[in-house]
Amino acid sequence: MADLRVETADGIATVTLDRPDALNALTIPLKEALIDAFTTIAADREVRAIVLTGAGRAFCAGQDLQERLEPGAVPLDVELRDRYNPLVRAIRAAPQPVIAAINGVAAGAGASIAFACDLRIASDTARFVLAFGQIGLIPDSGATWTLQRLVGAAKAAEIALLNEPVSADEAARIGLVTRVVPAAELAREARALAVRVAALSPGAVAGTKEALEAGATSTFEEALELEARLQGEAGAHPDHGEGIAAFIEKRPPRFGRPAG
Ligand code: T3D
């Protein structure tokens, strides 16, 4: 698809939104290509980490507002159920960690998509703008769920209700991004993060994602039980033995593929 690039090398898939003239705003074909890309990559056992980024000066400006004005535009509830929700679900359900490399402004659903990722690293030129309020909408694509879990309810209410842009430095201060790097170093630093997580046991990483996701809404008892089940699976996988052997032999572990 012309507006989306997917490159895979050394176990890392890089997904790049590529409509720089429209600040990578999301059209129906682009959203569908993204859903396809995440679904395909999730099933690719050779891929151990995913980097999501934007071409040009923006990460993503959210819904393409030109498309919204076209005659016969899809009603918003349908658009959310058919495309935005499947997209953020696909990001969160991927067994591999998804790293948002936020190279510039992330607005509307572009911000929501960044919030849905597992890790966020930002260029010093990045900013988050919820933007929904200024066009008479409510935050969507999971932002009402993700944002308050990332920064706390009070800060999330401030960001969502005031529509104040959040600068890269402020995002780092409130824990919305892992760190901020100079723009010229973003791609390299995002890749370095991806290499770090890609070196871990893929099964353990997938289990960690699953447990964190479930733990966000479960009871303590449910979390304990899920940890017991997932740890049973992790403990029975050869990666556990390899991790212990590598520790004893004072060498880096060589983890294999996920079980199943
Ligand atoms: O609708 C549904 O299906 C429901 C789901 C909704 C999800 C959503 O995402 S709703 C929110 C949609 N997004 C926005 O409202 C953001 C609109 N954009 C902006 O507020 C600003 O452009 C930014 C804060 C993102 C960046 O500002 P700035 O000053 O750096 O850039 P700019 O000059 O405003 O934009 C540059 C170009 O990109 C410009 O085009 P031009 O004049 O050079 O031809 C602008 O029109 C275009 N652009 C920016 N955002 C969008 C866009 N074109 C289409 N859709 C956009 N969202």
- 184 C-alpha to ligand 1 centroid (Å): 24
Sign of the Cα torsion 228, 229, 232, 237 reads: negative
| Cα-Cα-Cα-Cα dihedral sign, residues 2, 85, 149, 65 | positive
Ligand 1 pocket, Cβ-based, cut-off 6 angstroms: 22-23, 25, 61-66, 68, 76, 79, 84, 105, 107-109, 129, 131-132, 135, 137, 140
Residue 99 CA to residue 80 CA, distance in Å, equals: 23
**96, 47 Cβ separation under 8 angstroms:** yes
pLDDT of 177 over the 60 cut: yes
Per-position DSSP letters for 188-204, written without gaps between them:
HHHHHHHHHHHTS-HHH
154 burial via Cβ count (<10 Å: 0-12, 13-18, 19+): exposed
Q: How far is the CA of 61 from the centre of ligand 1 (A)?
A: 5
Q: What is the pLDDT of residues 205-248, one digit of tens each?
A: 999 999 999 999 999 999 999 999 999 999 999 999 999 999 99
Do the strands 4-9 and 119-123 form a parallel or antiparallel pair, or are they unpaired? Answer: unpaired
Taking only the tens place, the pLDDT of each residue in 50-108 is 999 999 999 999 999 999 999 999 999 999 999 999 999 999 999 999 999 999 999 99
Does the structure show a pLDDT above 60 at 153? yes
